Amino acid sequence: MTSIVLPATDDLRARARACLDRIGVVIPEGDELYARTPITGEDLFGLKGSGATETEAAIAAAHDTFLTWRTTPAPRRGDVVRRFGDLVREHHDDLAELITLEAGKIRAEAYGEVQEMIDIADYAVGLSRQLYGRVIASERPGHRMAETWHPLGVVGIISAFNFPAAVWSWNTTIALVCGDTVVWKPSEQTPLISLACDRLLARAAEETGAPAGIHHLLIGGQETGEALVDDRRVALVSATGSTRMGRSVGPRVAARFGRSLLELGGNNAAIVTPSADLDLTLSAVVFAVAGTAGQRCTSLRRLIVHRDVVDELLPRLTAAFERLPVGDPFAEDTLVGPLISPAPLEAMREAIARVTQDGGKVLTGGEQVATTAESAAYVRPAVVRIDGHTPVVREETFAPLLYVLTYDSLEEAIALQNDVPQGLSASIFTQDQREAEIFMSAVGADTGLVNVNLGTSGAEVGGAFGGEKETGGGRACGSDAWHAYMRRSTSVVNYSGEVALAQNISFS
């Protein structure tokens, strides 16, 4: 088989430097860590990392700045975010190119991620004038009771490689308008796009007169993240990553009575009913599995198909997977780019080996794609048919691997959907209103995101994003997610001129 021809690493390095130059980023050169591209699997630049000294200084500066930033009127805080959104619009192409270079996303997905940054900036600017409290009826005459929200403090953000810019922007834009300051520890696998985002936000602060200390970037490893987790000055830790990471972060933050917002693993399923529109189902399923090469927390991992339609759907599904163009994410016809590193490829191979030992059958995919770059990891998305129970299905494999199961009743299908430790996203494909309502009800999917006639991946910034169970329970982005970034006070004013106790208590 002919190897797929990939760009030379030198050419990719030049593209990265050109994007950074246009944004105004000065690369902190060093040899403590490396910016790497999964397109060829090779290093682009050596970088200076953030050690214990830089981490302490960033947290201290963020805490000091918070003491004044919290008194800035919220609409004025929104001015910084508005200007940041404008700068992202100006550098849309450069930011998208950096995401493709570092995360391996195809151009359309990278462009979409930057658009998500713009959307959340717009949302946060509007939010800056809508940080509403409420007035509550008091049982005591001549009393007014109200609920108000106040800035929380320093927000520590720990983000993952697969959405290196969007998830940071969800947290940061909302935190800033809520009056918090931010210290960001991005994935070590995506430092360049992180430097670019930090520079644009610094420009926005400069141009709007906001203090420079509202945001700090730390390019570091596990020790840097642990410092954020353990420091009492960090009021909220928002961490995106694996469930294993969350098991460490959550208890450590709780031990010091801090707050955590966890967005962890997903093992998402879609149910295909007998009434489903199979053309629509096919399109939605293919993207949900293969988008970002299966490296989304919302990627589709399990397809639960009714026995009456499985024999019609599976041949079409496998044929669609076999036609998916895999290769250079900069190429216009590519739909599946590289895995971030060889590690998820090995995890995918191991999962396929285990499931086939338990009787599963590989219908298509799973093989590594030959390329001109020996260190890169490209793989064909795989579909595996399962008849029976296998524990592998309950685990998340962060790669384009789809398990197909069958069911007879809707109750059985929902039980299969819910029978995993994770609880992020779920879908049902049906034209039956009753089935859709049951799936969305209290006896339906136990996930934070529930979809009807669309895939498990993809989210709009207006809705709160997050999941239940081992997904962590956190909510970022829209709806009332801003509550996580603020503290609540219930205040009572007595204007009656007399002391009155609640519950009709008399103490005279």
Tell me how far apart the 2 most distant CA atoms of the chain are, in Å.
93
- Exposure string of 159-196, with b = 16+ CB inside 10 Å and e = fewer, is bbbbbbbbbbbbbbbbbbbbbbbbbbbbbbbbbbbbbb
Burial of 278 (0-12, 13-18, 19+ CB in 10 A): middle
Two structure tokens written together for 338? 């590289």
**212: CB partners within 8 A, 6+ apart:** 202, 205, 206
For the chain, helix (H) and strand (E) counts, in that order, are 14, 21
Two structure tokens written together for 41? 């699997």
Plot region of 388 (φ>0 → left; ψ -120 to 50 → alpha; else → beta): left
Angle (nearest 5°) at CA 480 between 477 and 482: 60
Catalytic residue among 263, 396, 435, 470: 263
Active site residue 263: yes
Q: List, as one string, the DSSP characters of 26-53.
A: PP-EEEEEEEEETTTTEEEEEEPPP-HH
Given a contact cutoff of 8 angstroms between Cβ atoms, the answer to whether 137 and 492 are in contact is no
* Cα separation of the two ends of the chain: 93
Q: How far apart are CA 388 and CA 393, in angstroms?
A: 11
* β strands within 188-337, DSSP E: 215-217, 234-240, 259-263, 268-272, 300-306
Two structure tokens written together for 407? 């069911």
Pairing of strands 422-423, 468-469: antiparallel
**420: CB partners within 8 A, 6+ apart:** 267, 269, 302, 393, 394
**112: CB partners within 8 A, 6+ apart:** none
Residues designated as active site = 263
